[in-house]
Amino acid sequence: MEPGMTDLLEDIRAMVECESPSADLTAVARSAEVVARVGAGHLGAEPERIVLDGHTHLRWRTGGGPARVLLLGHHDTVWPLGSLRTRPCTVEGGVLRGPGCFDMKSGLAMAFHAAAGLAGVTVLVTGDEELGSPSSRELVEREARGAAAALVLEASAEGGALKTERKGVSLYEIRVTGRAAHAGLEPERGVNATLELAHQALAVSAIADPAAGTTVTPTRASAGTTTNTVPAHGTCTVDVRVRTAAEQARVDRAMRALVPVLPGADVEVTGGPNRPPLEASSSAALLERLRLLSARLGLGDPGAVAVGGASDGNFTAGVGTPTLDGLGAVGGGAHADHEHVLIDHLPGRTRLLRALLQDLLAPAGEPAVSGGALP
């Protein structure tokens, strides 16, 4: 086994075996202490513990000088307490398994090993990403604004590909008000909120633009109170995914321009953009640097893809910071029973991450140090 690999696997196991469902603040705080211990062992210092709305986030600044690169990850997971009983952390046949191993505790271990001994790095590990980063968004954006590059340790796409585009997300709720009436005696006196919702769902779907990669999807809907009453109220949530900021703005204007179809009905739209898109232009220069370094290390081209899912990399790109995502583990099954990490890829991915950090931190005109074994 490659030097340093045993330590890397032990670090991953320690974090995976401390369960951290996002909504359980006590569990997240407990996980933060384990992550702090693992990180401090490599970065040489205790992190700042930043508690926002009960969620525990961790921040290291290496070397004491100004930070130039942001390493970004999260330690919360989607898995409820007790998941380890049925999905224990194991390493068998070159595969590591366990809740949260792929998304994304392996990425955290990689970040700690890659940044060891380097100055000028901020390592930020948040505790509410799986909830949409409600408390940590401003913290992420603030750290990104002060960095020349943001490297996100979310798990890779299939086959180890980097995530160079992520769709932006907007979330809306449509609230319809009609007028109640007896469904059997005088339905004509009512204004049916269910019918109005149906009209609105069709109108919303028409906002989508498949050619531009824009999806506008009505999701959860409800209306009415009893089976024999014309519904007076109804709601429908809408999930929007876009590739560009221009499309996100277009959809927002269209959503806010919705008007009722039925006479006497009222329509109110709330919500809006949740995460800006990570556009290809935000990743292009970093991807090119990574590809050159990967070739120099004999690791081949990792590949790059656009994905629909969002991450905190959307926020770093949204404030204008060059961002490369999907630098974490190779494997699969995020949020699923078959979540796993392919351990043979861990050493090379970690060396590549360290080489990219050294390249970004090197004074202008000096070559990066490509490194050998895991630090």
Catalytic choice (129, 130, 165, 247): 129
Q: If we measure between CA atoms, which residue out of 17, 42, 43 comes closest to residue 30?
A: 17
Cα–Cα distance for residue pair 115/122, rounded to 1 Å: 9
Tokens of 87: 């999905």
Point out which residues pair with 108 in neighbouring strands. none
Amino acid identity, position 237: T
Q: Are the C-beta atoms of 174 and 197 separated by less than 8 Å? A: yes
Residue 103: active-site member: no
Q: Which residue has the tokens 């991953």?
A: 12
What are 84's two structure tokens? 């380890």
Copy the structure tokens of residue 260.
């009722």
Given the residues 11, 76, 252, 312, select the one marked as catalytic: 76
- Tokens standing for residue 272: 């809006």
76 included as an active-site residue: yes
Largest CA distance in the chain: 84
The C-alpha angle 99, 307, 311, rounded to 5 degrees, equals: 55
Sequence-ordered strand ranges (E) for the chain: 48-52, 55-61, 69-74, 90-92, 95-97, 121-126, 149-152, 162-166, 168-177, 181-182, 215-223, 229-230, 233-242, 266-275, 304-307, 323-324, 331-332, 340-342
Provide the annotated active-site residues: 76, 129
